[in-house]
Amino acid sequence: MAKNYDSSSIKILEGLEAVRKRPGMYIGSTDKRGMHHLIWEIVDNGMDEVINGYGNYIKILINKDGSITVADNGRGVPIGMHESGKSTPEVIYTVLHAGGKFEEGAYKVSGGLHGVGASVVNALSEWMTVTIYKEGKISQIKFNEGGKVLEPLKEIGKTNKTGTIVQFMPDKTIFKNCNFSFTTISERMQQSAFLNPNVTIEIIDEEDNLQAKYHYEEGIEAFVKYLNENKNPIHNNVIRFENEKNRIGVSIAMQYTTSDSEIIESFVNDVKTSDGGSHEVGFKSGLTKAFNEYARGNGIIKPKDSLDGGDLREGLTAVINVRIPEDLLQFEGQTKGKLGTPEAKNVCDNIVYENMKFFLEENRETALSILEKASKAKEAREAARKAREAVKNNSKNKINKEKIISEKLAKATGRDYIHNELFLVEGDSAGGSAKSFRDKEHQAILPLRGKVLNTEKASAHDIESNAELRQIEYAIGAGLGETFDYKESNYGKVIIMTDADVDGSHIQILLITFFYKFMRPLIENGMLYIATPPLYSIETGKKGEKEYISTSEDLEKRRQELGDKPYKLQRFKGLGEMNPDELYETTMSPKNRRLIRVNLTDAALAEKRIHVLMGDEVAPRKAWINENVDFTLEDDFRK
């Protein structure tokens, strides 16, 4: 195996400074997502041991006091003295960029954030305790106040085991919501278990008495089956192959279904690459080349014809996991969302082409079924394109569209779509207020009447038959489904603006489902937003100066600041209760408004989540809501 993992493996690159001042630079945000990122950083260290063959078990505890415990049975953090004069665990957990990943040979491949993880988690915690099982000893070191040593490393017992246990409490002054989600942790850990067939991962929530254990001997083959569990496969057996070339290991599992959606989940050293990269490009090109060569060779298409890669991937669910040594690993940008390693493209292309060429020759019936589906996809795409062009060129259709749009839409006069915004507003009353006080050059208003159609299982025909959704489609003007082209959108931003209540949230979900199913590139290109109107206004002073407050928590803080000073409080029950100038200044003006961008970070998870929340089965939806939604005494559903 690799050389010994001891104190000499740890290299210090720089000190732990500014993490508490700018936590977003290190973990992305200080919301629930950022707080869960703390767990991923510690788990990644344990997974690096697993990947390199030194462990097979990870346990995560959500403790009753709100802290998190992560335990692994790897080699254990080195416990000797570091060349800096400090104990090695103190260096690892207090110095940024200190870790075994910087010493050549300590790890063959690594998935963590290059050694910053452990120290960043410590910096953003009220306290942390690290217990190490190594060299026959149980050693422990304790920290508090964001990384200060409370108790230096000391021996507390004897053992014949190896491993590391880290327990930490997120700092409540940094994180707004310190409640960990069992579902979020379980989904992430299940994914890790799929990628590593030799690991067992256990999650226990001591507060809510929940537990889960994941172990998949079939690995990514089981991952594909999991992603396709609500779909109809074209072929029963998952296509699976793996190989290594030029020190890059490639594992791929894939299966075609009757669905029209394409799902590709890609990973590098177990780190999810949400934005794809060179390995995905290689996978797609190798797949397209193999299918087209087979189709020409068997007289399915003419020698000079070819099937488009998108058509060949319709209904495909694939999982790609590549292992790349540290010296070859390159990512584009500061996040690890997109692989840049050039060698990965050629390696993936060659491995996919060679294996798929063999598979197609040996599985003629499956090959013909997939090619038949691709041919139909091509025909449907070309028919949709021709129909779209016909609609564009048909003056009668143009008149009908204009009539439908003009019934409600207040257009923006500006012709530069990037700077134009479409507000989808709940109710005619709020729509009227928004129309009367807006930036007419850049802001268009489309009022919506009631709740729109749940499109989780809808077809394009259903959309055309629904007045509200048809108006949205025509207003945006970029097509629908396969014909949608975000570059042709009449607006650079589409903003959902609803009341800050349960009904408003429901309308948001219904609209997001619609955009996800029929205009997904709008989300993928960061063009869909949710407006956040204030809940309260407070008038203070003799002149009646008005300020707006977004949350109940902020209101309570403001009340405490005001003390005995007189003030007038107003609770906005809906957008229609606000004066037009108030609505513009607080919710529509680019100077003052707060917009939430709708992001798509995990297409496969989004697909499954929408099926749970918007589908017909009640039990899974109820279970998810009970685990993820915090109900308070203020929530009165009898009204």
Q: Which residues are catalytic?
A: 426, 499, 501, 503
Determine the Cα–Cα distance for residues 266 and 279; give it in Å rounded to an integer: 8
What are residue 97's phi and psi, to 5 degrees? Answer: 65, 40
Tell me if 336 sits within 8 A of 274, measured CB to CB: no
Specify the 3-state DSSP secondary structure of 567.
strand
Q: Which two tokens stand for residue 246?
A: 């030029």
Task: Please provide residue 438's backbone torsions phi and psi, each rounded to the nearest 5 degrees.
Answer: -150, 170
Query: Side by side, which strands form the sheet with 125-134?
Result: 148-158, 137-144, 125-134, 163-170, 68-72, 57-62, 200-205, 210-214
Is there a contact between 422 and 496 (Cβ–Cβ < 8 Å)?
A: no
Three-state helix/strand/coil letters over 518-551: HCHHHHHCCCEEEECCCCEEEEECCCCEEEEECC
Contact predicate 23/124, CB 8 Å: yes
Q: For 56-73, give one letter per residue: b (16+ CB within 10 A) or e.
A: bbbbbbbeeeebbbbbbb
- Phi and psi, residue 67, nearest 5°: -85, 170
Report d(CA 325, CA 333) in Å as an integer.
19
Distance, in Å, from the CA atom of 164 to the CA atom of 158, rounded to the nearest integer, reads: 14
Tally of CB atoms within 10 A around 207: 13
Q: Which residues pair with 204 in a beta bridge?
A: 61, 211
- DSSP secondary structure, 388-451, as one string: HHHHHH-HHHHHHHHHHHHTT-B------GGG-EEEEEESHHHHHHHHHSS-TTTEEEEEE-SP
Contact 191, 271 (CB under 8 A): no
Q: Is 32 exposed, middle or buried (0-12, 13-18, 19+ CB in 10 A)?
A: middle
- What is the identity of the amino acid at 105? G
Cα–Cα distance measured from residue 613 to residue 295, given in angstroms and rounded to the nearest whole number: 40
